[in-house]
Structure 1
Amino acid sequence: MKKDINVRLIRHATIVIEIGDVKFLVDPLLAAKDTYDPVANSGTQIRYPRIELPIGQDELTALIKDVDAVLVTHTHRDHWDDLAQQMIDKEKPLFCQPADLEKIQSQGFTNLKAVADELSFKSIKINRTGGQHGTGEIGKKMGVVSGFVLNNGAASVYVAGDTIWCGEVKDALQMYHPDVTVVNAGAPQYTTGDPITMTSADIVKVYKELPSTDIIAVHMDTISHAKVSRKQLREQLTECGYLEKVSIPEDGEVVRR
């Protein structure tokens, strides 16, 4: 069984995870720059995605064909957009949370499985974890979100998804002890309420909870209501002495473990 883990950031939360011999495309946001209207109630009129994909159309098409499966943590448009629904083969294996099963089925996908707790795919065991997409009323409005742990018996990756630091994340770290943890940073906010994904302080809490996991921070520089850029996150982690504990890849970059 291969221990190798490669995580390639495409853009935002869109990543390709290669664990052993199996490849997953996670949370595809594939639209061109400025395709979508500004995020409502965010205090900005900036359209998104704010940047183009780092790869051309031919490479994107080949990438989608090459992956073994697609994993959608939740169906907010910045994680599962219109172009992804058009480009991905409707018979491609696709995994989601139970709350999104009916919606994705209605989009024509026929090889779809909801992960209620645990299931297996090829050599990979997939476990679903919980999360909190913000606090208070904003958190309730954001709906149900999930994380997922991919484990081939030799190596494991925890995709935390759109969540702040919370008890569910702590429990997942302690239960699965992942070799790699992918966190969604950027600390996006609306005009009211607290951040709805992780801040630098949240990421430090992830490290302190499980120092053995390699943290990869993504989900920045793409959506208009995100308050923290890669540059700012690096500065914040430098100030508190944790920059060397976190990988912050650029779009297109591969992190190898």
Structure 2
Amino acid sequence: MHIQLIRHATLKITFGGQTFLVDPMLSAAHTLPTTPNTPNPVENPLVELPFSVEEVLNGVDAIVVTHTHPDHLDAEAVNKLPKHLPLFCQPPDEEKLIQLGFEQVIVVADEMDWQGIRFQRTGGQHGTGEIGVQMGPVSGFVMTGEGEPTLYLAGDTIWCEEVEQAIGTYQPDVITLFGGAARFLVGDPITMTKEDIAKVAQAASDSQIVVAHMETWNHCLLSRKELREYVAEKNLSAQVHVPEDGEGIDFQ
């Protein structure tokens, strides 16, 4: 298995002989509006893609969309993605994705098999209280395949009971987390904080963890530097990986 961070939540994952593009957001820097009511009111995304859109899309066999917030599926991705590719999603997003023109929307309601790969959907909480409700439903996905490590794509979630249950149930070898501690001017963070990431590492002590979703969107306040320093203090550096945009990691 190979996991490459493209930018923000966009990952390119080679698994079971297939290449998946996860949560594609392909806009050029500063071409999307700021997320309002946040401490850092600047236009998104904050940085450019590490390479061309054509290179991002090269070799992609299928798409995974954890949810359809614009930092996980933007208009540029909708325009550029080949519409015939299989697209895996959570049930609430099926109709929207069909209306956007995708021809092969595959809903993972619970679990399903595709090309020798099993997908199992997990829950999460995209924040707490009323903000969490307003953020809408989000999902993660566990992927298993012969000869591959078990991969848990946690999606946009904080540390919560659903994440703890997924770790206990599936015992993943590799976990991808969306960090950044994204937040608004009021309320709690809506994605993983550094403390949340440490809790995941403690609960999944045998798992390797890849953290993305940082330094690209205006309401993500946790930087790579701060997270790396924190995991070093907690003696988690060998377990928690914080890649740069464009960086890839192999897992056996």
Normalization by structure 2: what TM-score? 0.96
Aligned-partner Cα distance in 2 for 1:246–1:57: 28
Aligned position for 1:51: 47
Aligned-partner Cα distance in 1 for 2:56–2:211: 22
- Number of residues of Structure 1 aligned to a counterpart in Structure 2: 250
Aligned position for 1:113: 106
In the alignment, is residue 12 of structure 1 matched against residue 8 of structure 2? yes
In the alignment, is residue 84 of structure 1 matched against residue 84 of structure 2? no
Decide whether the 8 Å contact of 1:22 with 1:123 is kept in 2. Answer: no
Decide whether the 8 Å contact of 1:214 with 1:246 is kept in 2. Answer: yes
Compared CA separation, residues 103 and 58, structure 1 to 2 (3 A): closer
Give unmatched runs, 5+ long, in structure 1.
Answer: none
Aligned-partner Cα distance in 1 for 2:132–2:238: 31
| Secondary structure of the corresponding residue to residue 238 of structure 2 | helix
Q: Superposed, which structure 2 residues align to 1:156-167 within 5 Å?
A: 156-167=150-161
In the alignment, is residue 243 of structure 1 matched against residue 231 of structure 2? no
Letter in 2 for 1:151: T
Q: Superposed, which structure 2 residues align to 1:1-80 within 5 Å?
A: 5-61=1-57, 63=58, 66-80=59-73
- Render the CA deviation track for 1:132-184: whole Å, top value 9, x for unaligned: 00111111110000000111033221100000001100111111111110000
- Render the CA deviation track for 1:179-221: whole Å, top value 9, x for unaligned: 1100001101100001111111111111111211110011000
| Secondary structure of the corresponding residue to residue 244 of structure 1 | coil
Aligned position for 2:166: 172
In the alignment, is residue 216 of structure 1 matched against residue 243 of structure 2? no
Aligned-partner Cα distance in 2 for 1:110–1:21: 22
Aligned-partner Cα distance in 2 for 1:187–1:13: 13
Aligned-partner Cα distance in 2 for 1:98–1:245: 32
Letter in 1 for 2:215: D
Decide whether the 8 Å contact of 1:27 with 1:73 is kept in 2. Answer: yes
Identity of aligned residues (%): 46
Q: 1:58: how far off?
A: 3.5
Aligned-partner Cα distance in 2 for 1:56–1:108: 23
Aligned-partner Cα distance in 2 for 1:235–1:179: 24
Aligned position for 1:138: 131
The worse-fitting range, judged by mean Cα deviation, of 97-106 and 37-46 is 37-46
Q: 1:20: how far off?
A: 2.8
Give unmatched runs, 5+ long, in structure 2.
Answer: none
Aligned-partner Cα distance in 1 for 2:16–2:97: 28
Aligned position for 1:207: 201
Q: 1:112: how far off?
A: 0.6
- Render the CA deviation track for 1:69-109: whole Å, top value 9, x for unaligned: 10000000000010110111111100100010111111111
Aligned-partner Cα distance in 2 for 1:178–1:238: 22
Q: Return structure 1 stretches of 4+ with deviation > 3 angstroms.
A: none
Letter in 1 for 2:183: Q
Aligned-partner Cα distance in 1 for 2:16–2:108: 21
